[in-house]
Structure 1
Amino acid sequence: MKSETLIFGIRAILEAIHSGKTVDKLFIQKGLQGDLAKELMQIVRKQNITFTYVPIEKLNRLTRSNHQGVVANISPIDFHNLEDLVMNVVESGQTPLFLVLDQLSDVRNFGAIIRTAECTGVHGIIIQKKGGAPVNADTIKTSAGAVFKIPICKVDHIKDAIFYLQGSGIQTVAATEKAETTIYDVDLTMPTAIIMGSEGKGIASSVLKLVDHKAKLPMYGEIGSLNVSVACGVIVYETVRQRL
C-alpha cells in the first residue's frame, strides 16, 4: 500500500509539479534565495499549492539528505478531473451520487468517509485544494485502502464545484443543523451531491447560499451534533435506502 511520499530538493519538486503530481504540503526554508527558488515560488503561487516557511532545523528533521531548503509531501493518489468524472457517470446511465467535503480537516474522519463512500457506491468525492485534510498514511489506513478505489477530485473552490454539479442536473444537498427539514424529507433518488462541512465550522455560509436543499439529522441527545464521518454515513445510507 502506498503512503505519502517525501521528496526534497528544488529541481526534484519542480519536476514533480510539472509532471502533474499533487503536492499536499510544501515546506520552504525561511529566507531561501536564488533563481530556482524564485521559479519554484512562482509555480507554487500560480497553482495555489499550500506552503509553509520553516526554519532549517525543521527541514533537517524531515530528511538528513541535501534538501536545498525545500521538502514536499506528495500525495499517494492521482486526483480526477471533476468535469470528466461527472460526464462519465452521467453517460453510464447510473444515478449520480457524489460527496462534497467543505474544508474537512481531520484525516481520520476523511478516511472513514472514504471507506463509507466506497461501500455505498458513491461515484466520487470532491474536496478543495487548500485547507482540507490531505491524503496521507493515516487517511489510507482509516479508509482500509478504499482511497485507491474511489475517485477523488480536487477543485480550486467548492462553490465552483456546486455550480458545475447543478449545471449537470445534479441536486446539491447540504447537511447542516441550520436546516428546517430533515434528510428524510429530501428525495435522494434523484442525481445528488451531498455536502458535508468541517468538524468545527460546518459548511461555509457562502456555500449554504448556493445549495438546492438544506437538511439535518434529528437529534434527541444533549450534545446536539454527531461526528462528521458518522453523520455522513447515516445520510449516505438513507440515500441507499431510498434508491433500493
Structure 2
Amino acid sequence: MKAEWLYGFNPVLEAIRSGRKIKTIYISKQRHEHIEKIIEIAKVEGICVEFAEKDFFDVRFHKGHQGIAATVEKKRLLSIEEILSIPEEKGEAPFFLVLDLIEDPRNLGAILRIADAVGIHGVIFQSHRSAKITSTVCKASSGAIEYVNIAEVVNIKHAIDKMKKLDITIIGAEAGSGLTYWDIDLKTSLALVIGSEGHGLRKTVRDACDFVVSLPMRGKVNSLNVSVATGIFAYEVIRQRSLKE
C-alpha cells in the first residue's frame, strides 16, 4: 500500500476507528498515558505495535507527536463527481466547502475539523499552490480528517462551474463585502468559498460567486484567522437550517 505517516494520539486513534489500513503503530517507551487503549484496539485489529525511544519521534515529527505515530494507507481523495453525489445519497441539501489556495497546513487541518463538526458534505481544494494533505494537516485536524470527504482538483473554478450546473449557490467569504452572512438565505443548496490567508479570494473566483459575504468587524484588528472565520460561517448555515419554518 502507499503509506504515509500519522502522529499524535487522536489522529492515530481515529485512523484505527475509521478503518484506514494501518501497517505499524509506534509508541514511545516513555509514554504511559492511554497506551493500553491503543494496544488493545491494535491487537483486535491485528495491527503491529512497536516501541521506540523518544528520539525516534523527535527526529521525524513536529512538536506534539505525543509519543505515538503510525504508518498508514494514504487517505483516499474523491473526484469532484463523487463529492457532488453525496448530498443526494444522504437526502440532504448540499453544503460544500471550497478552499481558494489555503497554504498553511495547520489552517487546513483546523478547517477539516470544522467540516467534520458541522457535517459538510465535501471539501474541495486546488492541487496547485495549496497545502497538501500531510501528517501535519492530520494532526491539526485532531483525527477529523478520517471522516471528511475531500476532493483535490486542478482548478477550483471548474469545480464551481460544475456546482452551478447543479443549482448550487456559490457564496464567497471576503472581508469588506457589503453583505453580512446573515443577510442571505443559507438553507438552500450551497458551497461556501474561503479565500487564502492574507490575500482572500482571487478575483476570478470572487467573480464566479453568486454572493460575497463578510463578518462584521468592530475591533481594531481587521480580520480573523481563516479557520475561525470558516467556523463562524459554517455554524450560521447550521443555525439557519435548524430553524423551523
Q: TM-score w.r.t. structure 1 length?
A: 0.69
CA contact (8 A) 1:173 1:195 kept: yes
Q: Which amino acid aligns with 2:88?
A: V
Say which SS state the counterpart of residue 99 (structure 1) adopts: strand
SS in 1 for 2:124: strand
Q: 2:4: which partner in 1?
A: 4
Residue identity opposite 2:90 in structure 1: S
Match of 1:35 in 2: none
Equivalent pair of 2:83/2:150 in contact (CA under 8 Å): no
Residue 204 (structure 1) aligned with residue 202 (structure 2): yes
- After TM superposition, the structure 1 = structure 2 runs for residues 19-58 of structure 1, keeping only pairs within 5 Å, are none
2:222 alignment partner in structure 1:
224
Which residue matches 2:237? 239
Aligned length: 177
Q: Deviations over 1:106-129 (max 9, x none)?
A: 000000000011010100100001
Identify the match of residue 191 of structure 2 among 190, 193, 198.
Answer: 193
8 A contact 1:100–1:195 mirrored in 2 = yes
Q: Residue type matched to 1:158 in 2? A: I
Q: Is the 8 A contact 1:3 1:136 kept in 2?
A: no
Establish whether residue 149 from structure 1 lines up as the match of residue 144 from structure 2.
no
Aligned twin of 2:74: 76
Identify which of 117, 123, 130 aligns with 1:132.
Answer: 130
Q: Aligned to 1:96, which of 90, 94, 97?
A: 94
| Structure 1 gap ranges (5+) | 6-61, 63-73
Q: In the TM superposition, what is the alpha-carbon distance from 1:87 to its structure 2 partner?
A: 2.0
- Check if 1:87 corresponds to 2:94: no
- Spell out, residue by residue over 1:188-230, the C-alpha distance to the aligned partner (whole angstroms, 9 max, x if none): 1001100001102111001111111100000001111000000
Letter in 1 for 2:129: G
Q: Percent identity?
A: 38
Q: Report deviation, 1:75.
A: 8.8
CA distance in 2, matches of 1:85, 1:79: 10
1:73-126 superposed Cα distances (whole Å, 9 cap, x missing partner): x99311101112212322432111000000000000000000011010100100
Which residue number in structure 2 is paired with residue 172 of structure 1?
A: 170
**Partners of 1:91 and 1:129 in 2: how far apart?**
26
Deviation track 1:218-243 (CA, whole Å, cap 9, x = no partner) reads 00011110000000000000000001
For 1:105, the equivalent position in structure 2 comes to 103
| Aligned residue identity for 2:4 | E
Change (3 A) 1:3 1:202: farther
Q: CA deviation at 1:3?
A: 7.7
- In structure 2, the CA distance between the partners of 1:180 and 1:78, relative to structure 1 (3 Å rule), is same
Contact kept in structure 2, 1:111 and 1:142, CA below 8 Å = yes
Q: What secondary structure, in the 3-state scheme, does the structure 2 residue paired with 1:177 have?
A: coil
- Structure 2, unmatched stretches of 5+, are 6-59, 61-71
Aligned-pair RMSD on alpha carbons? 2.1
